[in-house]
A and B are shown apart, each in its own frame.
Chain A
Amino acid sequence: MIDVQNLSVVYPDGTKAIDGISLSLADGETAALIGANGAGKTSLILSLVGVIPSKGEVTVGDVRLCRETVGEIRRRVGVVFQNPDDQLFMPTIYDDVAFGLRNYGIAEADIERRVDCQLRELRIAHLKHKSSLKLSAGEKRTVAIATVLVMEPTVMLFDEPTAFLDPKARRNLINLLGRLPHTKLIATHDISFAAQVCDRAILLKSGRIFADGASVELLFDEKTMDDCGVEAIA
């Protein structure tokens, strides 16, 4: 479903954020992207949708990322940001969820139907006319996910989805992610969350893939995790 070949990201100051990464995710697969701060998780996610310029190949389905196809790639690949406040910038939740659809020229009647349907599915229809400034962290996270799901993507990328969440909201998020049939790549520091949600774990270190394998093996392997700079599940 998503295939990455020899991807590299170098920032203007010369920092190599991603250094020749190759990976692929199968249809419906859920993988955790794990690494210490500065390992390149966010850079990888943003480069997959062409927000950060990169070298190498990214292919989603049958579409290869390039200047001409960036719109199609961003329609197919949804990104949920670490801080929902960065993602919610419209006056009402309705407008926030409708933002992407409007950018793609969907007719207003269709937008209304799809937004209403999405809000109902995520059980946040009561927030429709509220401002994001008045929501709890858990509600903001759910709305941020709705803004992406409404675009009907095939792949979803999450950057630290459990950040700012209390235990109950975290549990709700785990349930929600479990229900989503999409191909998912989840960058997280929350190892127990990764173990519950993801079948596969990809460990990143200094912009390179350090290890790649089944979550049940990797996330409990103290030595590998320690070498990667993260803590294994006790």
Chain B
Amino acid sequence: MASIQSKVREIYSLEQLSGKHTCVHALHPSAKIVATFVYVVTVASFGRYDLERMVPYVFYPAVMMALAEIPYSLLLKRAMLAMPFCLFAGVSNALLDRVPMLSLYGVVVSRGVVSLFALVFRTLLCVVGVLILVSVTPFTELTTEMRRMKTPQLFVTLFEMTYRYVGALAEEAGSMYTAYQLRGNSDEGLQMRDMGSFVGQLLLRSFDRAERVYSAMKCRGYALKDGCRVSAPMKARDYCFLAVTCGLSLLLRFVNIPGMFSQWIGTVLL
């Protein structure tokens, strides 16, 4: 349980990277939000077997991480947290869809296997894209801009609350588990017979804690007036960033550049 707490703290540590001073951090939050949105939507819109067409999208996270001085390993480790969910979905594809699609050095690869790799790759790109956004934009700026961009209030509040309360939940779980262990007679962790009451109590306690945190936020002016926070206007560099990132994302979506490239290579070699 203590490791859950440390994992959650690791998630928050990403946000601490947002305090750096690089050219990416200096960009306007709106520009970064729109660029990430376009990137995620275009990556997610590819067909289930379009694995090769997604490959060029690796450049966006690679370049952004380099420019923003974000450690690759740190971000990839966080992104891995999302992998089990898509792996479960992808494995069922591989098992059910066995129609041969291509042959690699004599090994027949089914459509299901291609869709498994495409799903994992697509998820990785999307998650890394969002994690980069969180790493280069302070959380308050992110939510302020989301409100300014007329994102539904309910969605922004849910986003803020979820983000804050994950920590509260983990802290409560950690302290409850320590108390449980100290009174337990084994080191085998939480016993199945205690699971129900433990989880129930955890939810009740987290709810209480969440109420107190929300009260503290309200006492300091939270949720009083929407859009009273001010933000600077976008500059020329922000528009340039938007044009380049969104332009490339859309170009790669509508023009099959990897296909053209492989055709050209084939022509040259043959």
Q: Which residues of A contact B (CB under 8 A)?
A: 46, 49, 51, 70-71, 74-75, 78-79, 81, 83, 85-87, 89-92, 95, 98-100, 102-105, 107-108, 129, 131, 133, 147-148, 151
CB-nearest residue of chain A to B15: A91
Q: Are B229 and A79 in contact (CB under 8 A)?
A: no
Stretch of B40-48, B97-105, B208-216 on the interface side: B208-216
- Docked CA distance A223–B174 (Å): 43
**B199 within 8 A of partner (CB):** no
What residues of B have a CB within 8 angstroms of the CB of A99 in the complex? Answer: 140, 217, 220, 222
Select A70's contact among B217, B224, B228, beta carbons within 8 Å.
B224
Q: Are B222 and A103 in contact (CB under 8 A)?
A: yes
Q: Are A133 and B9 in contact (CB under 8 A)?
A: yes
- Docked CA distance A7–B15 (Å): 42
Q: Are B224 and A131 in contact (CB under 8 A)?
A: no
What residues of B have a CB within 8 angstroms of the CB of A95 in the complex? Answer: 138-140
A-B contact count (CB 8 A): 79
Q: Are A89 and B213 in contact (CB under 8 A)?
A: yes
CB-nearest residue of chain B to A151: B220
Q: Are A86 and B221 in contact (CB under 8 A)?
A: no
Classify the interface of chain B: helix, strand, loop or mixed: helix
Q: Are A89 and B212 in contact (CB under 8 A)?
A: no
Q: Name B14-36 residues within 8 Å CB distance of A.
A: 15-16, 18-19
CB-nearest residue of chain B to A94: B19
- Docked CA distance A148–B164 (Å): 20
**B167 within 8 A of partner (CB):** yes
Q: Are A105 and B228 in contact (CB under 8 A)?
A: yes
Nearest chain A CB to B166's CB is how many angstroms away? 11
- Docked CA distance A102–B140 (Å): 9
Q: Are B221 and A104 in contact (CB under 8 A)?
A: yes
Select B16's contact among A83, A100, A131, beta carbons within 8 Å.
A131
Q: Are A74 and B218 in contact (CB under 8 A)?
A: yes
- Docked CA distance A108–B140 (Å): 12
- Docked CA distance A89–B220 (Å): 12
What residues of B have a CB within 8 angstroms of the CB of A79 in the complex? Answer: 216, 219
Q: Are A100 and B221 in contact (CB under 8 A)?
A: yes
Q: Are B224 and A91 in contact (CB under 8 A)?
A: no
Q: Are B219 and A131 in contact (CB under 8 A)?
A: no
Select B229's contact among A81, A102, A129, A131, beta carbons within 8 Å.
A102
- Docked CA distance A27–B169 (Å): 41
CB-nearest residue of chain A to B168: A89
Nearest chain A CB to B83's CB is how many angstroms away? 25
**B12 within 8 A of partner (CB):** yes
A-B contact pairs, 21 of them (CB 8 A): A49-B219, A51-B218, A70-B224, A71-B225, A79-B219, A86-B209, A86-B216, A89-B216, A91-B15, A91-B18, A91-B139, A95-B139, A98-B140, A100-B220, A103-B221, A103-B222, A103-B228, A104-B221, A105-B229, A133-B9, A151-B221
Select A71's contact among B16, B138, B221, beta carbons within 8 Å.
B221
Q: Are A81 and B15 in contact (CB under 8 A)?
A: no
Q: Name B137-159 residues within 8 Å CB distance of A.
A: 138-140, 144
What residues of A have a CB within 8 angstroms of the CB of B213 in the complex? Answer: 86-87, 89
Select A51's contact among B16, B144, B219, B228, beta carbons within 8 Å.
B219
Nearest chain A CB to B70's CB is how many angstroms away? 15
Nearest chain B CB to A170's CB is how many angstroms away? 22
What residues of A have a CB within 8 angstroms of the CB of B228 in the complex? Answer: 103-105
Q: Are B216 and A75 in contact (CB under 8 A)?
A: no
- Docked CA distance A79–B216 (Å): 8
Q: Are A74 and B16 in contact (CB under 8 A)?
A: no
Q: Name B94-142 residues within 8 Å CB distance of A.
A: 138-140
Q: Are A107 and B230 in contact (CB under 8 A)?
A: yes
Q: Are B164 and A89 in contact (CB under 8 A)?
A: yes
- Docked CA distance A91–B15 (Å): 7
Q: Name B188-245 residues within 8 Å CB distance of A.
A: 209, 212-213, 215-222, 224-225, 228-230
